Every structure is written in structure tokens, then in C-alpha cells.
A and B are shown apart, each in its own frame.
Chain A
Amino acid sequence: MTMRERFAAVVSELVESDPRVAVVLADIGVDRFAPVAARHPERVVNLGIMEQAAIGVAAGFALEGFVPVVHSIAPFLVERPFEQLKDDFCYQRLGGLFVSVGASYDYASEGMTHQAPADVALMSALPDTEILVPGTAGELETLLRASYDDGAVTYLRTSVRANAEDRDVELGRLTVVRRGAAGTVVAVGPLLDATLAAADGLDLTVLYATTVSPFDGATLAREAAGDVLVVEPYAGEVLVPAVAGVLDRPARIGSIGVPRRPLSRYGTPEEHERALGLDAAGIGERLRRFFGAWPRPRGA
């Protein structure tokens, strides 16, 4: 099951079990919610292709005590109605769950209009947002259930790219995947597997982030050894200032992510990953460059 399928299944179940949940759609993902919409037409509403109104309508539901869930392709959920997210939700202090499909270059062959690699950076520019980037469908379910009714503006990013196995993730917490002494890598969501492959045999701590905001600075401060390299599957180097804000010692902070330039190629997500240096080989090369020599375990 993909992350998006799991999202639709879990939210459909929540519509049944939690009368506060209301789904607002703008012609994207309608088929996935058709069964639950047939049973609860007053709480599963498809407006048509109108994303600004979709966010406003969702805010109207929130004003009346509902937990609105809005789903669309990332550029149409975050970029087009960005001011609605700011004014209709953040300014009013209303909560809602905003779930995107089409992470970074997942929709490679659709072209740049269907890509929003700066989605996380944009959402992190809004006050008090919760930003979740799971690496598997199982992790998505864990994070969704923990966050959906917590009163925050929550951005949940699904991706086609995913890790092979679920990790023990918790809302708002970094997961310590391995401990090392020569440096630290913070891998976000679906780039964990490629990062672990790149770091294989190296004396590095690997921390896994599925909650980008609020960032778990306490775990980072406690666990981070040496310099810190952040590996993010989106644009904007979002975690660099978060890491800088909690380290109370001199350290270099490096960043790997989607570059801020137009991604105008078509092709496949794999081809984009390779071209941008976000596959295991590319990340490995950057790790080596950032940490100097290969940081091998002492005595090896």
C-alpha cells in the first residue's frame, strides 16, 4: 500500500469513527473517498477545482469545531492557496490536516507545474505549523493518528519514494537509527534508506526525522556527534537553521536536498534523484566531501 492509499484508508476510517472529521476535496483524490462520501456526504465534500475556496471552506468547518482534512497535489494545496493557509488557518488559530501527494519530483513526467519541492519550506514559514514527512505508509499512519486532532495546522507529505521498512517513529521525535562518533547525519523521510546505504560502514550517527517541525532539538543536542549533515527530500534547507539553533558548540552544518532551480526535465523520479545527487551514490559522494575523509570507525 502506498502512503497515499494508506492516508485515504485511515482518513476514511476516521470519518466513520470520529464525527468531528470532515474531508474537503478539490477534484483530486475524489475516487479514493467515494465510499465514505456516499455514507457521509455532509462531511466529505468535493468542491471542484477551486483550491483557494477549499482552504476557506475547510476553515469554516474548523470554526464550527470540525477537524478538516484537505488533500491535493502539493502545488495546489500549498502554493496556490498559501495565503488562505496563513489567514484562514494560522491567523485564526484553527487546526486542520493538509495532506499532499506529489512530493518534489514524484510527478516527474508531469513537469514543473505539478511539482512543489519548496512545500516544506513554505509551510515552515507559517507560524506554528506541524510538518510531517513520513518515510513509509506505516509511519504515515502513526503520525496521522497522533496529529490529526491536535489543533495544529498539520502538513503531511506523502511521497511515492519510500523506505523499505517502517521505523519506530513518534510524532515530534527524532529516531536514533545508529550511533557513531565521527559525525552526524539527519535523514528526513524517504531519503533514509539511501542515506543509510551511503553511510554503510562509516562511524556516523544517523538520526531519522519524520517530524520536520516542531524539530526535536533535544534529541539532536543529546545525540549529535561532530559535524552535522542534513539530508532532506525537498528544497529550502529547512532543518539547517533548526540544527544550528540547538547546537551549543562549534560545528559545521551541511545540507543535501533538492536544489533551488527549475526542475524542468520529465523522466522518472529515479532519474531526477540520480541527476540531483539524491540517490545512495550521490549522497555518499557528498558525505565523503562534507566529512573530509571517509569517517571510519577508530582502528579500522
Chain B
Amino acid sequence: MFNPSHDDVLRLLARVTGDAKHAPSAHSTLDVLSVLYGKVLRHDPRRPAWAERDRFLLSKGHGPAAFYAALAAHGYVPEEELARFGAWDGILGNHPDRLRVDGVEVSTGSLGHGLPMAVGVALALRARRLAEPRVFVLVGDGELNEGSNWEAIAAAPQHALGNLTCIVVDNLSSTIRFPDLAGSLASFGWSVAVADGRDHEALAAALGRREQAPTAVIAEVVR
């Protein structure tokens, strides 16, 4: 199967035109997304609803250019759509819509929604007796200021959701810095790894872990 490289993703990112709002966000997630789609996720673009696929939820829905580029590189989105970013009759907007784009699991934009939904998906996979698929959700460090995330952070370990991985892209964007984010997540019962958010090997290793407890990967990205 065609296996796009990080360079493919980079080339496609450059094709996303129009309103380039949230550009720093788009680029902070670039390497994580490239590694996820290229090396970690079990997925098949020809079968976006495949029951056994890993689910990826982009909670931090703003700055989706890198997400769209990754989806285009893997064949979920026609390349020509990238140039129609934000168009009236386009399918790619500033926040992704799951009903318009294959491979988008949830429509996001408002912060603090993806992680609770990911907990629900992880519980639902267990109820479906689907043991293999994993659920990945990407949040931003700023997004973690939203209280709803902490409800989900408290809940996931209680249900021993080993099929859940929360990726925190930490680009120092939050107004309220958590003094010890890794320690905080660990204190709730998450298995936490911290990785350089630009280091593909480190990211792949951190994202590849599956344990009894839900896992968190803090991907540090300097803006």
C-alpha cells in the first residue's frame, strides 16, 4: 500500500491556502500527525468506517491544516480540496466536520469536547467487544484549561481504559500553565510519557505503548 512520507505531508500542507488562521497550531501538530498516520494508527483509507480501525479524534480542532494534509497524504481527502480550504462549497473548514470528510471521526472546534468523547468511544469499543482498536485524542495544552477535560481525565483511569491515548501537544500556549502536567495526569492514574514533539522516533515509541491504564503522551513543541 502507498505509504506517504513526512515530506508528502509537508508538501500537501503547503497546498492548504486561504485563511491561514491558527497557523502555529497547524504546525505544532504536524509531526505528531505525520507519525500517527504514518507509523501508529491501524487504518485503511479505503474503509474509513472499518470496525477494527484505530480512532483518531482531533479535539483541538483549530489549526487543522496539518490534519488535512495528513488525511490527503493518506488518501482520505482529494488533494485538490486542500486549495479550497474554507470555501463555501468546500469540505475543509477552519474546524473539521466529520460529515464532510472521511477519516474525521468527530467534528470539533469548541475546546474541551474531544477527550470526553474519546472516553465514550473507548468505553463503547469495550462494549462492542472490540479489543484491538485504540482511541487516540489530540488536545492542546491551552485546551486543558477547559474543565470538561479534567472530568474525562478523572474518569478514564477509573474505567481502566487501556485502549485510550491522550496526546497533549504542548506548545506553551496555555494562559494558565499547569505546574506539573505530567505529574498531574499520573496522579489521576494515567501512564504518562513526555516526548520531543518533533522527534519522530520518540513520538512513535511513546504512541506505540499500550498499557492497562490509559496512556498520555505530552509532545513538547517549541513554537
Contacts and interface: CB of A to CB of B under 8 A. Distances in A.
B124, B148, B152, B154: most-surrounded residue (chain A CB, <10 A):
B124
Contact of B124 (A22, A55, A87): A22
A47, A58, A84: most-surrounded residue (chain B CB, <10 A):
A47
Interface string A37-68: 00000110101101011011111111111101
Contact of B154 (A22, A50, A91): A50
Interface residues of A, number: 30
A296 interface: no
Given A52-B148, A53-B148, A64 B125 contact: yes
Interface residues of B, number: 32
Contacts of B210: none
A61 B123 contact: yes
A53 B151 contact: yes
Given A50-B154, A66-B127, A60 B113 contact: no
A56 B124 contact: no
B127 A56 contact: no
A42 B119 contact: no
A57 B119 contact: yes
B182 interface: no
Contacts of A66: 124, 127
A60 B120 contact: yes
B223 interface: no
A60 B117 contact: yes
A13 B110 CA distance: 36
A93 interface: yes
Contacts of B147: 52
Contacts of B122: 60
B127 A92 contact: no
B116 A56 contact: yes
Contacts of A279: none
A42 B120 contact: no
Given A47-B155, A52-B148, A66-B127, A57 B113 contact: no
| 4 nearest A-B residue pairs (beta carbon) | A60-B120, A56-B116, A64-B124, A57-B120
Interface of A: 22, 24, 42-43, 45, 47-48, 50, 52-53, 55-66, 68, 83-84, 87-88, 91-93
